[in-house]
Structures are given as C-alpha cells and as structure tokens.
Structure 1
C-alpha cells in the first residue's frame, strides 16, 4: 500500500497560518475549495506543508498563478510553466503586501494551477501533462 503525503495550510515559514485553515491535514478537493475562498477574499499567497517536509506555494493574481513545489525551506524548488506564453502579468500580492509581476511563461492560468495543486496533493507530484521546470 502506498501512503500519500498529507498536506496542511501553513504560513510561508511552515507554521499553521492562523487563518483557521492551518495545521490540520486537508483533502485535495477541500484544499481547492479553501484556495478558491482565500482568493475570493483577497488572499493571493497560500502555502501548504507536506508531512514529508515539502512545501507547495500558490501565488496568484486571480487570473494566473505561480505554483512552486519545494523540498523544504531554502530549496529553489520547481514550478509549473506555460511554455510559449508571452508577456508579463502583475498583481501577485504576497502576504507581506509586496506586489510582484512574473513572466507569463512562469505562471499558468488559475484553473490549470488548481488542477496541478489538486494532483500534487493527491499523488505527490504534478500531472504528467503539466509543463514543469526544476529550478535546482
């Protein structure tokens, strides 16, 4: 039997995020519902910690999202990409208030991001058909 990693919402430092979503493991579909709710309420940066110590970050502007998977704090990680996308998007607001912009090729449409996040939470990795770049 394969044991899949459990995931919980945390702050960017790997601690319970204090917004009522943190510390308790969350099922993949429930995590997507929480992400949608957080985005609808203007929280554009979300982190989940896996039971193995990995971190999954989602930073969005409500249209596109940067999805990063890290082996732990300080790891350059890997991220979802959109090969061939042109231009830049802004409005990626971090928890500290900083507003970032990213090349569209380093982000994916929000629905694709949520599909990828759900798959990572369910299986431990991105879907085979998702474009992915390792930054290590």
Structure 2
C-alpha cells in the first residue's frame, strides 16, 4: 500500500506528489517556512527553508532522530530558517540542500515513500 500524506496544520486532505510542489511554494509565499507532513503509516516528513536552501528530514515515528538530506560538498552555513514557533535557526550548508533539490526530494518521498536513489542523506539514529 502506498502511504498517503497530510500537512499537519491544514485540513486532513491528502497531499499527493502531484500537488506537493504547488503546496510548498504557496506556503513559502505566505510566510510559512516550516511544513510537516504525516503519512498514513505514522511517519513524518519535515521541510524547513530559508527560501534558498532547505532542511528535509524523514522520521519513522515520534521521537525518532530520523534521517536528513545532505549536500556533502557545501561549505559555510545559512541562517533564516524560521520555524512555526518563531524560532530562527542557522544550519551548516552541508546539512541542507538547495531549494530545487529539496522540492524534488519531498515530491519523491511523498510519491514513493523513500529517498530517490541518487539522493544524498544521512541517518541520525
């Protein structure tokens, strides 16, 4: 069975891989830089952006440290990651990916339930 996904703070309508790339930019345009999706199997997918780069995390269950996308060749860090509680975070660029890549990763995970074969990610468990 393919998982269905919903955005935690929206209506309980499923978000498919066909529309997730419309939903995320719309949320960013409205000032929502943090999005959490929950799957029908209980997994969570986090997307936090500063509009240039994004942190993408996949967690198996509540409390799981999960796994996140990485950009191993990136240097430096980026700020401006605004969480829904108002907290402003800064992350090393190697722990985030360019926004276009983040969109691709989220679309693939929502569509298939797993990272793309060519994705770079690390397990934080």
* TM-score when normalising by structure 1: 0.90
Displaced runs of 4 or more, over 2 A: none
Matching residue of 1:7: 5
Deviates more, 1:26-35 or 1:87-96: 26-35
- For 1:17-96, what aligned pairs fall within 5 Å after superposition? 17=9, 21-96=10-85
Shift of 1:22: 3.0
The offset of 1:44, in angstroms, is 0.3
SS of structure 1 residue aligned to 2:110: helix
Of the three residues 106, 114, 119, the one matched with 2:103 is 114
- Cα root mean square deviation, aligned: 0.7
Residue 133 of structure 1 aligns to a residue in which SS? strand
Q: Which runs of 5+ in 1 are unaligned?
A: 11-16
Question: Which residues of structure 2 form unaligned runs of 5+?
Answer: none
Size of the aligned set, in residue pairs, is 125
* Counterpart-to-counterpart distance in 2, 1:123 and 1:43: 25
